[in-house]
């Protein structure tokens, strides 16, 4: 009978580990899938909202330059999916290209070469043709997208790690008295001493007719620490990872909220464009002082 219970304790040990591994993997996989779908849908809706608004507001002029805005959302999505995009440089380039288009439109009575417009775009930050919108939007987008991608990658990494280690005998979760204990090897083969301790912890109470009684947390923890002394340090590493994920999640709900950045992005960019239109004369005068005007053969001496 003792041998039977000994083998049964091993099987139950492995069964619980496998079950918890599968459950944990399913949780991370589900959370990642939902967040990934939510984020991509948010980007698509923001792009559609901007397109609809700009078609109504700017009509044909927008349609002629719509690829500029499509590129913006394409690069934002590429950063989220791949990551090899410098958000600050990309956003600076967007505003510089927009300035080139806008400068040509508000000074349509003149002809400008591409070299001249490139010179104008280099003074985007100095000229501030779009007011303070580019600076604020760059800060908001950078913070929100970095946090969002970090959170998504964290969920994906956790999902993949649990998936791999549940097969390759690395680390998973074990429960003692319905409390999360620590990460431990799946399919681990207990030593004779460990097996004896497991047998005593799980089945000794059966001899007294207490078949539904679970071992207390401290007792269970001590047995597990003895059986898995080499893996005990992993508990703190996993907890550090979870704490970091919770911290990122809190930021996404607070100052780095991606919805609060993307939902009004069409209005913010439109405000920037209108600011450029309202101050087109002053901007053009600043361009002359910046020196680009002198580099344009045949350019007018004033606006």
- What is 115-178 written as a DSSP string? HHHHHHHTTHHHH-TTTTHHHHHHHHHHHHHHHHHHHHHHHHHHHHHHHHHTTTT--EEEEETT
The tens digit of pLDDT for each residue in 53-96 reads 999 999 999 999 999 999 999 999 999 999 989 999 999 999 99
The rounded distance, in Å, linking the Cα atoms of 135 and 144 is 14
Higher pLDDT, 17 or 204: 204
| pLDDT beyond 80 at 245 | yes
User: Residue 35: its pLDDT value, please?
Assistant: 96
Please state, rounded to an integer, the average pLDDT across all residues of the chain. 82
Is residue 181's pLDDT more than 80?
A: no
Dihedral, CA of residue 253, residue 259, residue 261 and residue 262, to nearest 10: 160
Report the pLDDT value the prediction gives residue 244, as an integer from 0 to 100: 93
Mean local confidence (pLDDT), 176-185: 40
Q: Is the pLDDT of residue 296 over 90?
A: no
pLDDT of residue 20: 73
The mean pLDDT value for 174-193 works out to 48
Instruction: Classify residue 268 by burial, with Cβ atoms within 10 Å: 0-12, 13-18, 19+.
Output: middle
Residues 6+ positions from 290 with CB-CB distance below 8 Å:
120, 123, 126, 127
């Amino acid at each position: 009978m003792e041998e039977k219970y000994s083998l049964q304790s091993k099987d139950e040990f492995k069964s619980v580990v496998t079950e918890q591994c599968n459950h944990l993997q399913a949780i991370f996989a589900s959370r990642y899938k939902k967040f990934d779908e939510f984020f991509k849908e948010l980007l698509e809706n923001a792009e559609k909202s901007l397109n609809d608004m700009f078609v109504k507001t700017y009509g044909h002029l927008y349609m002629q330059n719509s690829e500029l805005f499509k590129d913006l959302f394409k690069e934002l999505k590429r950063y989220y999916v791949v990551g090899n995009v410098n958000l600050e440089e990309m956003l600076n380039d967007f505003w510089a290209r927009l300035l080139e288009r806008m400068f040509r439109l508000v000074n349509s009575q003149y002809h400008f070469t591409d070299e001249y417009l490139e010179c104008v775009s280099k003074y985007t930050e100095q000229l501030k043709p779009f007011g303070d919108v580019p600076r604020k939007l760059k800060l908001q987008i950078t913070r929100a997208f970095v946090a969002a991608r970090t959170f998504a990658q964290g969920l994906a990494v956790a999902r993949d790690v649990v998936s791999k280690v549940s097969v390759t005998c690395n680390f998973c979760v074990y429960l003692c008295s319905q409390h999360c204990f620590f990460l431990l090897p799946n399919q681990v083969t207990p030593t004779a001493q460990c097996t004896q301790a497991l047998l005593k912890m799980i089945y000794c109470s059966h001899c007294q007719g207490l078949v539904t009684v679970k071992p207390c947390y401290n007792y269970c923890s001590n047995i597990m620490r003895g059986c898995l002394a080499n893996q005990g340090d992993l508990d703190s590493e996993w907890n550090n990872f979870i704490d970091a994920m919770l911290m990122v999640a809190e930021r996404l709900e607070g100052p780095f909220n991606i919805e609060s950045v993307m939902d009004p992005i069409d209005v913010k960019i439109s405000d920037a464009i209108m600011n450029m239109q309202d101050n087109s004369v002053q901007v053009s005068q600043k361009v002359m002082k910046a020196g680009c005007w002198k580099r344009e053969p045949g350019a007018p001496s004033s606006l």
